[in-house]
Structure formats: structure tokens, C-alpha cells
A and B are shown apart, each in its own frame.
Chain A
Amino acid sequence: MKNSDKLRLVFREYRFGCLENIISVGLQALIFTIVILLFTVSFELDDVLSGYMAPMYSHGYGFTLFGYSQDDIPELEKQGFRDIEFYENGDAYGYRDNLSDIWFIKILAIMDGRDIWNSELDEIVNYIFFGQITFLALGVVMFIIMLNNISNSISMRLMLREKYLRMMSGLGCRKSILRSIFFMVFAFRSILAILVAVAAVAVCVDKINAYLHRIMLISLGFSCFSPAYIIGIGLISIVLIFFTFERQWRARA
């Protein structure tokens, strides 16, 4: 079968279950919006909190650096520390302008048998950690719900189109061609949902930023308009949809 004819059959497929298509795209877009928002908030929580506390720490956030030597200064500077001073007992003290990725840096230090610590900031750093973990976990749960939703939607559509699949097979259509047609049907539908979700997240982040800027003079970073970000989300989603589709297709074949 020619590729143009495959595409023709893909678009004809959207004539069936119009309402189901709309509901599926809407539901996927809604859940995907929540997933991206939760991940965004999770990744940006450290910046939001440090932005909120910035007026109280106008000289920066000071940390005691255990287990570091003078040789580690370039590495520490790369991690955002400045004005690093070493004391006679071997410990050091350094400042950061924000708390961005503080847990990542702390975990890296612990893995090397070192530590980065500040008694005054310890509680806040813990809040950041648990906040990030909580939002990330919620995002993962919603992501699993989204995959389940896509999987159910594929299963239902394949069940409804069983007669069509049998007809095509009887007419001599190769199974691999039928599979590629139906994969495209679901992939296009999900790509549309992702695009709607990215646009919805952009609007939401814009509103959140306007609010944060008004009360705290800070904003969330969100690169939803970066081509690399959109291509990345698209590729990951297509791979996930492919595996979800394959599972359902094999179950029905």
C-alpha cells in the first residue's frame, strides 16, 4: 500500500466515533497539562522558595562546606558557590545566590563523603526536598493515569473496529500495514492532545507568574516554547504510545 493511501485511511478512521475522539483528546490534554504543571512546579520549587526568601538573605545563602579542599574551588564555583573561605580546621564556608538544585548538589557531596550544611536553612532545604518529591510523585501518578487512559482508549477503539480489521485482513492487507495505520491514528490523536496541553500549560504558567511577580517579584521558569522541549516531550510520548499500542495490538491479534 502506498504511504499516501495509508494516510488517507488514517484520516478516514477519524470519521468513526467523533465524540470518542474529542473526549479522548480532551481527557489526554487535561491529564497531560496536570502532569507538566506538576513536574514544572516540582523542578522550580527551589527557585520559588529562594526567590521568596531573597529579601531576608540579601548577601546570599551561606553554607558550611565539609570535606572540601582548595582544589575543589573550581568545582564549587561551577555549582554556584562564591566567596569561598577555608578555615584552619579544614572546613570551608561559601555563599550561593539562590537555592537552585541545592538537593542535587547536597546529594553529590554526600556521595563523595562530604556535606553542605547550614543550621538556619536546614529546615527550609528539607521543605524544598519534600515539596519537590511530593509534586514529582503526584506527577508520576498522573502520568501513569494518563498512560492507562491512552491504553483503555486504544483497547476500546480496536474492539470497535474488529470487523474492519477482519475485513481488511480478508482483502489481503498485511497485518504490519494495518498496525502502522492504527498506530498513526492513535499517535496523531495523542500529539494533538500534547500540543493542546503545552499551550494550556503556557497559559497557566503565565497566570501563575503574573501572580508570583505581583506578590514576590519572582517567576517560574518554563521552557514550553523551546523546540527542544516540545520535540523531547513529543518523542517520549510517541515511544510510550507505541509500547502501549503494541501491548493492546498483540493482545487482540
Chain B
Amino acid sequence: MIDLRNVSKTFTLHNQSSAVIEVVNNVTLSVAAGECVALTGASGAGKSTLMRMIYGNYLTQAGQILIDGTDIVQAEPRDVIALRRETLGYVSQFLRVVPRVPTLDVVAEPLRAVGASASDAQALAEYLLAKLNIPQRLWSLSPTTFSGGEQQRVNIARGFAHPYPAMLLDEPTASLDAANREVVLSLIEEAKARGAAIIGIFHDEAARARVCDREIDVSQFTPGVAV
């Protein structure tokens, strides 16, 4: 489902004496449907960079990144947009929304984008928000004023609203209490059971051990660190 072949990435900082930073080099990995793979490695090893390259918001200099057969590296912007709408979900660490939009609409939006009716999308959004223990009195408010943990749960609800066949999870359990962490882990297990291919970054080792089938140490791809 997710297939990386000889992928490399450098940053060129034109305004800082044109420094060239090699981030990851020659990455080859693949994740099958129903499998969850954890990216590991020290801070700065390139875990998040690799994830953003797969999502397409970082440009890849060399190699192929195939998601369900589409090469993100070469694809036209509109193909990437379509892929993100239908196939590839991403739960980032931070929630980014239009101010003033109610939480319920934020969560329902990915479903509306794939053509679900307003009432169906709202029903599922309500179900997910309730499951993630967001109090009902907050549903009609914008999440911009929520606490960090609440924002993260809204982000997760939004990320799991549409059953994406491929998912990227950036520290989905980072700032959650035990009960909510349990809910998120069960959502990940459900996604695996329905056949989603998942790549995740988990600093929470117990969570990683529970949901991940394999671990890939990203430092092996970091230039100058690899042995």
C-alpha cells in the first residue's frame, strides 16, 4: 500500500549561506494493508521529515513514494489532493483549522469532502467526539480555544472520520491520559483490522509494542550517522 524506493531528501537553505542539509538518504521500505509500522530513532533522525515526504508536503529529491500505485514524488498537485482526500490520511501533532468553525464541522469535513451527506457526516463526527470523551457542550465551539489534549483528540477524530486505506500518525497518544490513550489505540487497531496500512511515530513504547507489527529505525537512513 505504501512503498518507498531509494528515497532521498536534502534541504537547501538559500538565505543561510546556502547550507545544504542531507536529511535522509536512500530509504526503501514498504507497508502492506493491515500493517502498522513504527518509525523510530533519536530526535532529529528524520522521522517526521520522512512522514511529511510521504504526505507530500515535503518535496522529495530522488526516488519513488508509491501510495496505492500513485507516485507522490512525480504526481501533479491535483492528483496529490485527490489522494489525500480519498486514500491517504495524516494525523499531525497540531490542529490547524479555520477560526470560528465549530468542532463538529471540523471533524465532519473530511467526510463532506468525499461526498457524504451533511447528516451522515455529522452523525459520525458526533460518535467519534463522544468516543474520544470531548464533552458535548464543546461540540458547537471552535477547537482553537481548547486545551492541548482536547485539540489533539479533535485532530484524531478528524483523522479517523474517513476510513483511509493508508494513514500517517505523528505521535497520536502524546498528550493523552490513560483512558483517552486506550480509545486512540483501539481506533488504530480497528483501522488495522479493516485493512489500513499505517506508519506511526510513537514515543510511547507500550503503545508502540501494542499496535505496531514492525519497527524501522530511521537513523540507518541518516547520512553521517549510519554505520
Q: Are chains A and B native binding partners rather than an unrelated pairing?
A: no
**Residues of chain A whose beta carbon lies under 8 Å from any beta carbon of chain B:** none
